[in-house]
Amino acid sequence: MTTVHAEPCTLREIIAFVDVLRLEPAEAVRVTNYFDSMLAQGVRTRIVYCETEPIVITGALQLSPVVCQCWVHARPDAAKFGFTGSVTRMLRRLVLDLCKDFGYHRAQAIVTEAEGKVVMRWVEAIGFKFEGELKQFCPDKTSAYMYGLIP
Q: Which CATH superfamily is domain 4-149 in?
A: Gcn5-related N-acetyltransferase (GNAT) (3.40.630.30)
Per-residue pLDDT at 133:
96
- pTM value surpassing 0.75: no
Closest CA to 35 of 66, 60, 63: 60
pLDDT digit of tens for each residue in the chain (151 aa)? 456 667 666 666 766 666 666 555 555 555 555 555 655 555 577 888 878 888 888 888 888 999 998 888 777 777 776 656 787 888 898 899 889 988 999 999 998 887 778 788 889 999 999 999 999 988 888 899 999 999 9
DSSP summary character for residue 66: T
Question: Do 58 and 45 meet the contact criterion of CB atoms below 8 Å apart?
Answer: yes
Distance (Å, whole) CA 78 – CA 110 = 21
Question: Do 98 and 59 meet the contact criterion of CB atoms below 8 Å apart?
Answer: no
Q: At what angle do helices 11-20 and 25-40 cross, to 10 degrees?
A: 150
